[in-house]
Homo-oligomer: A and B are copies of this chain.
Amino acid sequence: MKKIKHPHLPLYYEISREIIAKIQNGELKPGMQIPSENEIIKTYHVSNTTARRILLEIESQGWAVRVKGKGTYVHRKKIERSATRILGFTRNMIEAGFTPSTKVLKSCVRQKGYSKMVAGRRYFIKGPVFEVHRLRFADHIPMMMEKRFISMQFCPDLDKNDLNGSLYDLYDKVYNIRLSEMIQDLSAVMMEPDILSCFSLEKSIPAILIEGVTMCGKEMILELEESYYRGDKYRFTVRAT
């Protein structure tokens, strides 16, 4: 039997803390199975009532999720992204404690402009429009792939800039542009093979597709966007009133 360090605390609580500590120190990693009811009974010599209570405690604290008929798994923490706040990937990642990086996959200039439906309305940006596809990483894990279509009327010579950092910083510092509003459609789609290959994933997974328009003043369309956020890594938070 393992030593229990604080005998004045309830046993179930003590043991649940011990297992949670293993999750916190990384011994039990996201997606790994935590000890089952039977394993807890054997390891800690407790009753099945206590074992169940331990699992319930770990689960209710948000450290693990029970999958019916399969077991209890360490919670895969997803990145929370507010959908109602204009926030670039770079800053979102830094706030979440990751190191962001970017790989430009493709870029070109569309002389004829570009248009897109968002929230039931078609938005059109007159040419020339700068199109750039970028893969965005957190600690070297590809998290999302974005296609952006940016007005070169607002951002002349955009293609001459370094596109591996935050575009929001470029808008702000190089072009002195203030973003005023963003309208986005969120939908759930399966990743198509071309998108999937960007993420080096073999099997298709669901993605959150964001189709959006960003304004920099009344009726002034700065950019259109089509981004694929990995469904296994992201969650969007919305506040409604």
Please list the residues of chain A having a beta carbon within 8 angstroms of any beta carbon in chain B: 60-62, 78, 80, 82-86, 115, 117, 119-120, 122, 180-190, 205-208, 229, 231, 234-241
Contacts and interface: CB of A to CB of B under 8 A. Distances in A.
Contacts of A180: 241
A208 B186 contact: yes
B238 A115 contact: no
Contact of A206 (B60, B120, B188): B188
Contacts of A120: 80
B119 A80 contact: yes
Contact of A185 (B61, B117, B206, B237): B237
Where chain A touches its partner, the secondary structure class is strand
A234 B185 CA distance: 10
A182 B84 CA distance: 13
Q: How many copies does the complex hold?
A: 2
A86 B238 CA distance: 11
Given A80-B119, A188-B188, A188-B231, A85 B238 contact: no
A11 to B, nearest CB: 20
A236 B187 contact: yes
21 contacts: A60-B115, A82-B240, A83-B83, A84-B84, A84-B241, A85-B240, A86-B240, A119-B237, A180-B241, A181-B239, A182-B239, A182-B241, A184-B237, A187-B234, A187-B235, A188-B189, A188-B207, A189-B231, A190-B205, A190-B206, A236-B238
